[in-house]
């Protein structure tokens, strides 16, 4: 991998999407693991076939696509089911991201990976890790408002991910997203300058 690659991570509802948009406005491509996870289980894909084989056809909606809300509730209630689903989806997501990073033509690219800590050994090839962080109380409030989930499910969703301390332990750079959009954009602007310099040094 010769392209300079930044892995962007953060807890659910911490602001990864808003951060990604700040990079995109600067002409930097962002490849999203969540988008990859959708694409690798599209109807007709080997990923969806493997999920149906593991869980049965009841995981499909009437349109033949994966019923994501039902699947989400199932895996948060059953750790074995979650592990099975991840063993199907994650390898396909990793390959999707690596293919796009390898083909990217920009000075650097960003990979948005919510579960980076949990899968770090598979992403040792990235150059930098950027974590977007919020205090847990604010993260909970944003999650409940965004997804319309109750407090119990929101807590379980947060508990299912790596902790803030674990993310900070692997981060080369950190964005504090407690401020407004302008504050976020200013932090991204500083990082963009840094990453341009690092990617230039890589190719010099």
Whether residues 152 and 185 share a domain: the answer is yes
Whether residues 21 and 117 share a domain: the answer is yes
Whether residues 132 and 204 share a domain: the answer is yes
CA–CA separation, 95 and 84 (whole Å): 18
pLDDT by residue (tens digit) across 59-87? 999 999 999 988 888 888 899 999 999 99
Mean pLDDT computed over 117-145:
90
Whether residues 56 and 4 share a domain: the answer is no
- pLDDT value, residue 1: 56
Higher model confidence: residue 69 or residue 51?
51
Closest CA to 105 of 27, 188, 17, 184: 27
**Domain boundaries, position 192:** 1-29+106-204
Instruction: Examine the fold and report which residue of 53, 73, 103 is the final residue of a domain before the chain moves on.
Output: 103
Whether residues 191 and 113 share a domain: the answer is yes
Instruction: Examine the fold and report which residue of 103, 124, 151 is the final residue of a domain before the chain moves on.
Output: 103
Question: What residues contact 40, with CB distance under 8 A and at least 6 apart?
Answer: 47, 89, 92, 93, 96
Whether residues 89 and 41 share a domain: the answer is yes
Q: At what angle do helices 79-103 and 68-77 cross, to 10 degrees?
A: 120
Instruction: Examine the fold and report which residue of 79, 103, 127 is the final residue of a domain before the chain moves on.
Output: 103
Number of domains in the chain: 2
pLDDT by residue (tens digit) across 164-173? 899 999 999 9
Q: Which two tokens stand for residue 127?
A: 């150059």
């Amino acid at each position: 991998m010769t392209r300079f690659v930044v892995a962007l991570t953060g807890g659910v509802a911490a602001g990864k999407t808003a951060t990604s948009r700040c990079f995109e406005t600067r002409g930097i491509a962002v490849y999203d693991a969540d988008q990859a996870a959708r694409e690798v289980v599209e109807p007709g894909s080997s990923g969806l076939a493997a999920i149906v084989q593991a869980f049965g056809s009841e995981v499909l909606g009437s349109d033949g696509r994966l019923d994501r809300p039902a699947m989400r509730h199932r895996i948060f209630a059953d750790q074995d089911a979650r592990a099975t689903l991840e063993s199907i989806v994650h390898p396909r997501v990793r390959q999707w991201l690596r293919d796009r990073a390898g083909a990217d033509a920009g000075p650097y690219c960003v990979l948005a990976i919510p579960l980076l800590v949990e899968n770090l050994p598979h992403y040792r090839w990235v150059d930098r890790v950027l974590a977007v962080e919020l205090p847990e109380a604010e993260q909970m409030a944003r999650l409940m408002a965004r997804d319309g989930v109750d407090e119990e499910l929101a807590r379980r969703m947060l508990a299912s991910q790596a902790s803030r301390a674990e993310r900070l332990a692997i981060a080369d750079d950190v964005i504090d997203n407690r401020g407004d959009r302008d504050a976020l954009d200013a932090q991204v602007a500083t990082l963009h300058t840094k990453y341009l310099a690092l990617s230039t040094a890589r190719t010099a």
